[in-house]
Amino acid sequence: MINDVIIINNKNKSKNNKIKNDKSKKVDIFMMDKAIRTSQESYCKRLKVGAVFSKDNRALIDGYNGTISGIDNCCEEIQQVDVYKCIGCGYQTDDKIDICKICGNSDIKFSSKMIDKTSEYTVHAEQNVIFYAAKKGIPLDGGTMYITHNPCKQCSKAMVSSGIKKVVFKEFYRDTDGINFLKSCGVDVYQLK
C-alpha cells in the first residue's frame, strides 16, 4: 500500500505521471518548508519533527515534537536496562531468566547498559497541532497536515478522527503503518521530495 503514495517532485509530474497543479505544488512546498523550520524548535535530540496544519492554503497551526506543557522539555531520558544473554545461543532479553527460552541452556550472562529512551511525557508534532486546535476551538475538518516525517498509526488515528483529509510528509521514518491506515480511511497521502 505504501507504493500507492503519490510522490510530489519539484518537476511538473508526480511519480505516477499525474500532473499536479502548479499553485497546489507551490503551496505544498511552502507549507513543508514551514514544517521543516518549525521542527528546529524541538528540544528532542534524536529526531526533530515539525507539523503544520493548513486550510484554504493558509497555515493555521504549527507544532513540533516535545513534552507536554508544564514539563521540563527533554524528550529523551537515560535509563538503565538489565540484559540477560544466553551464552549458548545468544538469545537476549530484558526479562530475568535462569534458563534460556530458546535452547534451554542455564549459562546466562547478566549485564546492564544505559540507553537513551523517549520520555513518556513526549508528544508528537501532529499531536501538538491537534491538541492546540482542540484547546482553541479551531476545526480541522477538510484541512491538510504537513509533517517532516511520516506519521505513526496513533497520530494517523487522531488526524482521521479530527477530519484531516490530506497528509503530506517529507521523510519516511521507521513505522509506515500510519500511512496505510490513513489511506484505508480515504485520506490523501503524498510524499514531497
The string of DSSP codes covering 74-94 is --EEEEEEEEEEETTT--EES
Which residue is it, cell 500532473? 19
Half-sphere exposure of 110 (CA within 13 A, CB side): 7
Res 175: pLDDT: 84
**Residue numbers in the chain where pLDDT is lower than 70:** 1-5, 9-21
Which residue is it, cell 489511506? 183
Q: Distance of alpha carbon 97 from its chain centroid, rounded?
A: 34
* Sequence letter at residue 69: S
Res 134: pLDDT: 97
pLDDT tens, position by position, 78-115: 778 889 999 988 888 888 999 998 899 999 999 888 77
Res 2: pLDDT: 54
Q: How far is the C-alpha of 191 from the C-alpha of 110, rounded, in Å?
A: 44
For residue 142, what is the DSSP state?
T
Give pTM, 2 decimals.
0.75
